Structure 1
């Protein structure tokens, strides 16, 4: 037994040692025939192949360098065929000479990948390389850019039978022939040394130092030598140089471009990695493409830094890959050792089967422990998720509160503007008008009360949240109570032509309720209905009762709500329509709380564009025995917004002043206040919506526009963009007034094209100075360009397009003697008045003078630059009579056309 055990141990040790020393033979052998290795570009090709091969440890590559000798390269490929390698990669020196041996390898069943240079046959497996034709074409197109479409070019190739030289010249010639101003004066292409072609180039430049504007060389090494020759002759700054390869290294493509020695190099990727990738697909019987064209591009001073940075990054990554491969190899050796050690361990484990039971027991215990740990992990994960959910809810609630208080701050700004601005105006008055001062104090008083109402609503909500709000129930006639509230809206309904009705089958209805709180509920909801119901609409309030409850329906046919707005209508921190007053959202939230205090419910049903219905359900409350059962009670005074008929701004303004201003402000008080202030100095057209404002802007073509940002439907930002994007109005300065004073809002207004951005509450004097300054700047620009109508580049950028289109239209119709303002305005899609005001605002000239001056400049150019007769020029510039043309010309220039031509 002991002898058998010793034999088994010896056998196992021998097997283990044999496994440790066994080396895996490569599954595939690749033969690579390189035409030459004396330049950095081909060295990079081999390096990239070796890097890619490191990912395929089952493969190896045999490299043969032909040293630019065709016969040597043929012999190398013959040797690969004889060795029966699995695949051959060939970078041919000369395609025609190498083609037969490549076809031989292919016919004997060996896959052949041709890289860099094509052969004139289809008997190869795959091609990998950049298009030399595209390289030449890119060089030609970039030469056109460097020379601005005009210049003389010298091209130097390095192999008349080499496919790269042939294709690069063809692509370069094709690109140059697209531009009539470019000429290739000489194309040298020979199998010559650097000294030979350098001597030819130096001799050529000495004979014709000023006739060469650009030299295109087929590789970067030659481009570097060309630069040295140009520098020696003092022509390095005059002659532009383009090379090919885009290699990285001292005095190679990217380094030459970065140092400014050459103007550009055309990237010509080596394709080493791609060749190995295709080779492995072929060997592993995977799908592949026969034609694999590599990307090529122009590298100049603009992108050379990026290319160098990318190359450096790739180089670092490649070094990291090398380190990782080395580490993997080390780990593989360790794994092999550990695997064999494991075999030995298992062998010995067979000898200690008695320990199996103990190990099984331990395994079972470990499984139980893992199960317990897994359950604990699940519990911890569930707790973590719940904490994250609660944290997210708390974060959202905090954000909602901050956003709400930010909105409330904005809501305070408009009434503050109507308090501070009139106050400042009174303080700066030198003499007091009693009537005007009283109106200002009324405006201040009204807006102070408005601020107080907002503060009271916030305090009431706080009381509700704290549970300190209590009902003061009194028995009253609910029908008379609701009817009184509806009656308060009659004047407003009549002014806005709204059908307001209160529908109820009962004459009286005694009910216990808190009058102050329900008054605010009904008033808020009916006020909202008026805000969002257009003129000519309808608002119906109906009251129904059964044994257990009372239902009040408030319906309108206004703009309605979207599903999201309806679902969150009573949410204190939600604001669906950014252009709606925040008093609305606050009022609805407070209304819901007051209804809930009455143990009732409030619901909303709405569809976008079809109207909204609020349903208030109040249960019939049995009061406590101590409650006062009387209808004649003294109400506690409380604030409620005073109803006023809608003020319709007067858009028909008498033209008493030089400048016209369109004012767009939806707050009636602020609209009226600003209009009165502006009417003293400007013709003022005041409206309340952006849509009406746009109509007035197109109608009047004003000199300046003042607009609020927070407007119903279209806001001030959108209106400003519309004004600046329409060529009829793009010249008009825009001032935005807003309660949004944050930097983000100011940036948004500036992006929209606003010329000034003033936050509420604002200083009236500041506003007036802004208006004055913008109008004076517009007038200075108009005077400045009044004599430069044919030079649109002098006009600010957003007006150039209009003037260019206008002058192109005149140019198109210049021969038409009947050319008129009406015809031009029709062609431009605008009215005669709009065209007149637009041209006058930009150039301080009327349209007729503009056309006349344009014809005069055209005539001057024809007199100087052509041999046409005076009569021909007269007809060509739209004059029916040459004698009238002569008279017109002399009036404008104090010279006859002949005298002008000869001067």
Structure 2
């Protein structure tokens, strides 16, 4: 049977005790609707509650809540039990903190989400050398997550997605990973010396269809687009400074983006995702669609990414082409045209200028 998580925006006067009572009312009638309440999270400060429920469909959940107490959820999404546990640390009620008849859970579902990416696609002289680097990095990162109580949600050869309860511990973990990264990379092979960390924060259920989708998307933009090793949102910055008695974020190591920049990044990438592989695209389309003059767009992009609009699009295409070559999604000509280049020859020239190796040589270095 499917598992769902719903979101309730609770009124100011409702407390964690009220939510616990409503949860008990749900449990009394859940059998009438084929539901099973697994657990819930309540956040008195942010006035939100989230229920994890096994149910035949969304309507059964709405009907159960309506019958039990009348508080129908504002949003319901289908979730994976394993993913919920990875992000939130549990899929059942925590042990009672007090010996009371009512199990009051004042446990926020708010999380700090970290995305880490290292280079894994660029050419290298020796495969064994890269494997040694990757092993050292993953061992180091895993130790840092454990030390700072970060839950690893997902990982592959070149990335981590992790969840933290504490903003401070997330920031300290990022700084530790950044520090250790300097000492596990080789001196002569700079192509693998790329580390990017994006940190965002939010709740599991919003108007998106997947768990923490809104928060993950923003962390991804910060990690992949903004020109800095560690980039955080304005909310993460504010929460960190609040938790640490107004101690300011060290700008030498961490860059924070403000709300306007977050909105710009989101609009930017929503547009880029629709046009990036069109060979007839030009900067006029860019500025007109986003509502900026050419000079405004140039200033904003350079401030955030260090690139002009033309260079930004060119690099975006080349990164897509690089991944396609790495994943063997076609031959050089096919990938060139699919990523918006007018000819394979021009694509090969741009590729070599960017990555220091021809696509044909890259394929030889990365056989199936």
TM-score, structure 2 as length reference: 0.37
Between 1 and 2, higher relative CO (CA 8 Å, sep ≥ 6) is seen in 2
If you compute each CA radius of gyration, which structure gives the higher value, 1 or 2? 1
